Structure 1
Amino acid sequence: MSGNDATRIRTATCQCGTVALAMAGKPIAAVTCYCHSCQAAGQTFDVPPGAPRTLEADGGTPYLLVRKDRIEWLSGTDQLDEHRLRPDSPTRRFVARCCNSPIALEFTKGHWLSVYSARIPAENRPATEMRTMIKERPDGVELPDDIPNHAAPSGKLLWRLLKAWAAMGFRAPKVETTKGFAR
């Protein structure tokens, strides 16, 4: 693996290693989200016995945002289930049923995939650059000022998303898996 982010390939896997996702190139951003949706999903995902933790102790969910045109499912797509908080939600989460591991979150109308940072080996995982949606963090949680804390998606994050979208020719590819995957 190259040390250069432009050519680096990172892999995210479920806890047991059955499901694997490759991500090529420099990520859009490494963020921790505190929105109600991420907290609700995390509270559900963290319940099954043996499931890996999704939420951090402060209620945040760390993600690595990557362009959809730079991902490839390497294995285990037949083990993926789709989780939506509401049937009509534009946000779906990919969960490996083999070991109850959340892998990624897709905003279906967007051009990026938010990969759960905990699914990426620590030595290949970029450090969180910013916290977002902190206005929705759990009551009583005080966050350090070691990185930027944003009440809502910041201009910097939105700019990076726009630049990535432009580099993709303003396309929003669909995340495809096997034919048995619920769409």
Structure 2
Amino acid sequence: MTRSDSGTLNARCSCGQVQMRAVGKPIVATACYCASCRKAGALLEALPGAAPVLNSDGSTDFVLFRKDRINCVRGAERLREHRLTPTSKTRRVVATCCNAPMFLEFTSGHWLTLYRQRLDEDARPPLEMRVMTRDRRADVSVMDDVPNYAGHSGKFMLKLIGAWAAMAFRSPEVDYVKGELDGHGT
């Protein structure tokens, strides 16, 4: 991710053929320990040539943005979705050129969640909190360098609601993802 003077953030796949652009301040930067993120992370990391998704403690780092402030500027034809179940409202989107996980979307939500690893290391927003720590692996102790929450904290939810209010309570559709990953669309 590179931040310009205008507040533009860029995220790229591992090979650079897919690029996302976000404008403005992120809603929040968080690490999630939920069982779904851990399961999806393991599945996505198992794709041929895929980049790491999970941290050594099993968490996944994310940066959330309003949907109306992020778009795909290059390589949209390479984006494919993955859902843990056919009816899941959450989809994780991968750049098929190098199997790099790019973002997670709660389809009826107003935010888009970029995988923090897709952002240039020198410009990544700092981690603000850890959520869903009650789901962490039994062998994991969380550090106390940022607030840790067993679920989704009130602060996390207030940030989401504040962003939604700023969007006049709209939930734009992400229309640049082409379909499911072959053999991995469940």
TM-score range, shorter chain: over 0.9
Partner of 2:184: none
Partner of 1:141: 140
**Distance between the aligned counterparts of 1:60 and 1:9, measured in 2?**
26
Q: What are structure 2's unaligned runs of at least 5 residues?
A: 181-186
Per the TM alignment, residue 14 of structure 1 is displaced from its structure 2 partner at its CA by: 0.5
Partner of 1:24: 23
Residue 136 of structure 2 aligns with an amino acid whose one-letter code is: R
Asked if 1:91 corresponds to 2:90, the answer is: yes
**Distance between the aligned counterparts of 1:103 and 1:15, measured in 2?**
10
Per the TM alignment, residue 129 of structure 1 is displaced from its structure 2 partner at its CA by: 0.5
Residue 60 of structure 1 aligns with an amino acid whose one-letter code is: S
Asked if 1:52 corresponds to 2:54, the answer is: no
Superposed CA offset, 1:98-120 (max 9, x none): 10100000000100001000000
TM-score (norm 1): 0.94
Partner of 1:111: 110
Partner of 1:9: 8
**Distance between the aligned counterparts of 1:24 and 1:123, measured in 2?**
17
**Distance between the aligned counterparts of 2:99 and 2:174, measured in 1?**
20
Residue 120 of structure 1 aligns with an amino acid whose one-letter code is: L
Per the TM alignment, residue 123 of structure 1 is displaced from its structure 2 partner at its CA by: 1.5
Asked if 1:81 corresponds to 2:80, the answer is: yes
Q: What are structure 1's unaligned runs of at least 5 residues?
A: none
**Distance between the aligned counterparts of 2:55 and 2:154, measured in 1?**
25
**Distance between the aligned counterparts of 1:144 and 1:92, measured in 2?**
29
Partner of 2:155: 156
Per the TM alignment, residue 51 of structure 1 is displaced from its structure 2 partner at its CA by: 1.2
SS where residue 40 of structure 1 aligns? helix
**Distance between the aligned counterparts of 1:81 and 1:49, measured in 2?**
15
Superposed CA offset, 1:41-79 (max 9, x none): 100111134211000000000000000000111111111
C-alpha RMSD of the superposition: 1.1
**Distance between the aligned counterparts of 2:73 and 2:123, measured in 1?**
17
TM-score (norm 2): 0.93
**Distance between the aligned counterparts of 1:59 and 1:80, measured in 2?**
25
SS where residue 45 of structure 1 aligns? helix
Residue 105 of structure 2 aligns with an amino acid whose one-letter code is: E
Residue 179 of structure 2 aligns with an amino acid whose one-letter code is: A
**Distance between the aligned counterparts of 1:34 and 1:152, measured in 2?**
9
Per the TM alignment, residue 176 of structure 1 is displaced from its structure 2 partner at its CA by: 1.4
SS where residue 165 of structure 1 aligns? helix
